[in-house]
Homo-oligomer: A and B are copies of this chain.
Amino acid sequence: MNSIDPWAAEQSIDYSKLFDEFGMSRLTPEIVRKLDFYLARRGILFAHRDLDLWLRDAEEGKPVAVMSGIKPSSEFHLGSKLTAEELVFFQKKFGAKVFFCVADLEAYADNGLPLEQTHETAVSNVADLLALGLDEKNAYIYKQSQERRVMQMAYIFSRRATPAMLRAIYGERNYSLYFAALTQVGDILLPQHEDFGGQKRTIVPVGVDQDPHIRFARDIAFKEKFLLPGATYHRIMRSLRGESKMSKREPDSTLMLSDSPEVAKKKLMNAFSGGRATAEEQRRLGGEIEKDMLYEVMRFHFIQDDRLLQEMSDDMTSGRMLTGEYKEKWIPYALNWLKAHQEKKRQMLPKARKILQQMG
C-alpha cells in the first residue's frame, strides 16, 4: 500500500521511502548552488524529479514552465505562500512561464462552494500571488471551470487510467477523487498543449505529500507522448502547535496572509515554544530550537537572510534570552512582513479582479 496520501489532512511522512521506493531525487549541492534559493539552502526544498533537465533547458534558452494550482476555498495560508514563493522564484530567476490554476471545480466538489462564491476568494488569492511578486505578463492564470482544454485533456486521458493504476497510486477511493485527479493531470499538462507551443519542460512545486499526483501525471504524460512533468518537493511545515501538518480545517494551526496584526501576534505568541519550563533551565540548558515553532515559521517564511536566522537560533539555544524576550524580539519580523504584504496586496486587488474577469 501507498504510504503517501495526498488527500489526508494530517499525516506523518516516511521521508526515507521517497527516494528508494518512489524514485524522487535529492537536490544535489550543484543544484542547490545553481538555484541559490533560501528554501533550497535550508533543505526545505529538498527533492525533485527532472529539475536537472528543466534547468538545462532553461539555461539553453528553451521555453520552460512552472505550474501550480490552488482551491479557492480559503485565504492564502502559510502553505499556499510557500508554493507561491516557488512559482515566483522560478519565474524571476529562470524566466519560466507560470501556469496557475484556480481550482474552483475542485472547491465546489470538495467543499460545496458555488462557483460565484469562490470567485471572490480567487480574486483575493490571485492578489496575494501578485503581491508576492508574480509577473502576470509571463503567466497564464485561469479558472478550472472555464478552461475547456483542461477538461478535454482529462476526458481524453481517462482512457489511459486503468482501475489497477488508480488503485496502485491512490488506493481504493471514491470516484470523484479519481475524477479530480485526472482533471489535475489536465492542469499539469496544459503548459504542453499546442495552444501554448507544445512540448516543454514543466516543474510543479509541491509539498511532498502531493507526489502521487505527480506520479500519476508522469504516467499519463508518458502514454500520451508529453514530456514528463517534473517537480520540486518541499517539506511540510508543522502546525503552530508543533503537529505534523498544517490544516486549512483548523485555522489556528497556521497564519493566514489575511490575519490582522493582532490575530497574527496572538497566534505566534501561542505557538509551541522551544523554551524550557523555567527561566533557570532556559538559562542553563538553552531552548530546543527544533521544537520551536516561531523559529520554524521564520525559517520557512519570514527571514530570508541566513545570518539573521542564525542569530535567532542562537538567541534560543544559547540560553541568553528568556522565551518572552525572544518572542518580543522576533515576532515583529513576521508582523512587519504581513503588514507590508497586505498593503501590496490591497493595491493588486483591481488587477487580480481584471485577470479573473477575462476568464468569465
Contacts and interface: CB of A to CB of B under 8 A. Distances in A.
Interface stretch (A34-42, A155-163, A269-277, A327-335): A155-163
Contacts of A166: 175
A9 interface: no
Contact of A105 (B109, B156, B175): B156
Interface of A: 105, 108-110, 115, 145-148, 151-152, 154-156, 158-163, 166, 172, 174-176, 178-180, 182-183
Nearest to A360: B148
Contact of A175 (B146, B148, B151, B178): B178
A136 to B, nearest CB: 23
Nearest to A146: B148
Contact of A158 (B109, B148, B151, B161): B109
B159 A176 contact: yes
Contacts of A115: 152
B156 A109 contact: yes
14 contacts: A105-B152, A108-B155, A109-B156, A115-B152, A146-B148, A147-B148, A151-B151, A155-B183, A158-B175, A158-B179, A158-B180, A161-B175, A161-B176, A162-B175
Contact of A162 (B163, B174, B182): B174
A144 to B, nearest CB: 8
Q: Which among A109, A110, A146, A147 has the highest number of chain B CB atoms within 10 Å?
A: A109
Contacts of A180: 155, 158
A105 B174 contact: no
Q: Which among A109, A147, A159 has the highest number of chain B CB atoms within 10 Å?
A: A159
Contacts of A159: 109-110, 174, 176
A158 B146 contact: no
Contact of A109 (B151, B155, B176, B178): B155
A148 to B, nearest CB: 5
Nearest to A175: B161
A110 to B, nearest CB: 8
B179 A155 contact: yes
Contacts of A182: 179
Contacts of A105: 152, 155-156
A42 to B, nearest CB: 38
Given A158-B175, A179-B179, 18 more contacts: A105-B152, A108-B155, A108-B156, A109-B159, A145-B152, A147-B148, A148-B151, A155-B179, A155-B180, A155-B183, A158-B180, A159-B174, A159-B176, A160-B176, A161-B176, A162-B175, A163-B174, A175-B178
